[in-house]
Structure 1
Amino acid sequence: MRHRRGVSLLEVMIALAVIAIALLGIVAVYLKTADVKEANREAQIAKTAATRRFEQIRTTAMTNFNAVLATYQSSTFSVPGLNHAGTADKQGLGTVMIDPTNANLLDVRILIVWQGVRADSRYELRSLLSR
Structure 2
Amino acid sequence: MADGGRRQRVLIIEDEDNIALALDFLMSREGYEHDRLATGAGALDRIRREHPDLVLLDVMLPDVSGYEICQEVRADAGLSDVKILLMTARGSAMERRKGLALGADGFISKPFELKELRGEVHRLLEAGGT
Q: TM-score range by the shorter chain?
A: under 0.3
**Could you state the TM-score of these two structures normalised by the residue count of structure 2?**
0.25
TM-score calculated relative to the size of structure 1: 0.25
Structure number with higher strand proportion = 1
Question: Which one has the largest radius of gyration?
Answer: 1
